[in-house]
């Protein structure tokens, strides 16, 4: 999947005068409509967004129920289900926006990061669509898409800002200097935050995906167990979540072996506090270090209620404005891909 920003002409290695005119014509328009395809994990999603900010339709066919019984996403099963869903998701995206494909200017698609087989379904669909309709095609990074979800939720938001990107596969602090200029200032050295939530939920016998369940149970518990591992990284903007995850697993196994009762609520509250403190403290530290006065949260773990509350509190104390996308745009969707695709196309 070795392409970054391509259009159908470049993919076939010939760019005609007519193709160049097409792109120039689109750039002159007041309203540029991007249709985006997202299939990197277990959601088949297609959305149409105008000028990178206005959602005209946002269709998501989730496979969560299918993967639940396996306790996580099974890549091959995900790919097959994308194939089965993608055409009807496409038709619904156009119908919901009350548009035909002729009203769309640009096609965008997630090219990575994600499950290769799953990505391939979306990429092939988007390439075929762009080729058949002679529309430019833009390949979008899933991670950059998550950041762009905030442009859809907050119309006034513009770079520069510091972004905490926390999903099932990634945890990073990114300095967003401009729409397309992103610099990594901190990352996880082992597990992603969402991955740790999912694994902790699994060891507690809670359903997949673990994050929302842990979040819910944590509200009813007390953070009275010390899971802060010795390995927690100090003096760096990088994260490590493998230590805290192992601390929880060891705690649960020990209690089980001794036939002692486990208070799942307290385990969730203690684990969550440990992870949230680490994420929020380091992001605020990064914003101060780089002199930016806005923090943006992106990715599925951004839906976490304690993370939102703690980020709000610490940002207020430090005169930093804080943004996170509305709940439905935190997790995987294609509207965020269309938004970033628009800025790439421009
Ligand atoms: O961004 P996303 O939908 O998919 C990826 O690109 O990975 O993120 C999914 C991750 C899962 O690990 C899920 O457990 C986590 O986000 N998540 C949460 C919450 N809601 C979803 N983690 C903590 N608290 C939540 N409320
Ligand atoms: Zn994601």
- The ligand 1 atom nearest the CA atom of 208: 14
User: Which one of 168, 199, 241, 324 would you pick to mutate in the ligand 1 pocket, going by the greatest count of ligand atoms within 8 A of its CB?
Assistant: 168
User: Which one of 215, 301, 306 would you pick to mutate in the ligand 1 pocket, going by the greatest count of ligand atoms within 8 A of its CB?
Assistant: 301
- Specify burial of residue 321 (Cβ count, 10 A radius: 0-12, 13-18, 19+): middle
Question: Looking at residue 74, what is its pLDDT?
Answer: 87
Ligand nearest to the CA of 191: 1
Tens-digit pLDDT profile for residues 21-61: 688 999 999 999 999 999 998 899 999 999 999 999 999 99
Question: Looking at residue 13, what is its pLDDT?
Answer: 53
Q: What is the mean pLDDT of residues 206-232?
A: 89
CB 237 within 8 A of CB 285: yes
pTM listed for this prediction: 0.89
H or E element that contains 107? strand 106-112
On the question of pLDDT at 10 being above 60, the answer is no
Nearest Cα residue to 337 out of 32, 40, 124: 40
Q: How confident is the model at residue 5 (pLDDT cuts 50, 70, 90)?
A: very low
Ligand nearest to the CA of 218: 1
Q: How confident is the model at residue 172 (pLDDT cuts 50, 70, 90)?
A: very high
Q: How confident is the model at residue 230 (pLDDT cuts 50, 70, 90)?
A: low
Please tell me what DSSP assigns to residue 188: B
Please report, rounded to a whole number, the percentage of residues in the chain having pLDDT higher than 70. 94
On the question of pLDDT at 208 being above 90, the answer is no
**Ligand 1 pocket, 227 CB below 6 A?**
no
**Ligand 1 pocket, 301 CB below 6 A?**
yes
Q: How confident is the model at residue 73 (pLDDT cuts 50, 70, 90)?
A: confident
**Ligand 1 pocket, 268 CB below 6 A?**
no
CB 50 within 8 A of CB 56: yes
- The ligand 1 atom nearest the CA atom of 194: 12
How far, rounded to the nearest angstrom, does the alpha carbon of residue 32 sit from its chain's CA centroid? 24
CB 74 within 8 A of CB 67: yes
Q: How confident is the model at residue 319 (pLDDT cuts 50, 70, 90)?
A: very high
């Amino acid at each position: 999947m070795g392409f970054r920003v391509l259009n159908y002409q470049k993919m076939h290695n010939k760019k005609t005068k007519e193709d160049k005119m097409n792109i120039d014509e689109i750039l002159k328009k007041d309203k540029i409509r991007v249709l985006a395809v997202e299939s990197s994990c277990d959601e088949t999603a297609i959305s149409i967004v105008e000028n990178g900010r206005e959602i005209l339709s946002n269709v998501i066919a989730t496979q969560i129920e299918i993967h639940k019984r396996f306790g996580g996403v099974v890549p091959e099963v995900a790919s097959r289900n994308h194939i089965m869903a993608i055409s009807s998701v496409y038709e619904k995206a156009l119908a919901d926006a009350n548009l035909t494909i002729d009203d769309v200017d640009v096609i965008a698609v997630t090219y990575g990061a994600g499950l290769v087989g799953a990505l391939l379904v979306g990429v092939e669909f988007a390439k075929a669509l762009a080729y058949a309709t002679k529309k430019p095609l833009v390949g979008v990074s899933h991670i950059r898409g998550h950041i762009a979800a905030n442009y859809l939720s907050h119309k006034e938001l513009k770079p520069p800002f510091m972004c905490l990107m926390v999903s099932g596969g990634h945890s990073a602090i990114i300095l967003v200097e401009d729409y397309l200029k992103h610099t990594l200032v901190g990352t996880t050295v082992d597990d992603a935050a969402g991955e740790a939530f999912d694994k902790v939920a699994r060891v507690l016998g809670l359903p997949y995906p673990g994050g929302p369940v842990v979040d819910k149970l944590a509200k009813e518990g007390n953070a009275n167990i010390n899971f802060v591992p010795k390995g927690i990284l100090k003096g760096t903007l990088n994260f490590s979540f493998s230590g805290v995850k192992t601390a929880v697993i060891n705690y649960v196994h020990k209690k089980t072996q001794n036939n002692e009762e486990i208070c799942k609520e307290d385990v969730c509250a203690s684990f969550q506090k440990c992870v949230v403190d680490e994420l929020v403290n380091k992001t605020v530290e990064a914003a101060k270090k780089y002199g930016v006065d806005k923090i943006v949260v992106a990715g599925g773990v951004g839906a976490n209620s304690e993370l939102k509350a703690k980020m709000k509190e610490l940002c207020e104390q430090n005169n930093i404005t804080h943004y996170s996308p509305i709940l439905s745009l935190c997790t995987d969707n294609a509207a965020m891909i269309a938004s970033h695709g628009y800025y790439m196309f421009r």
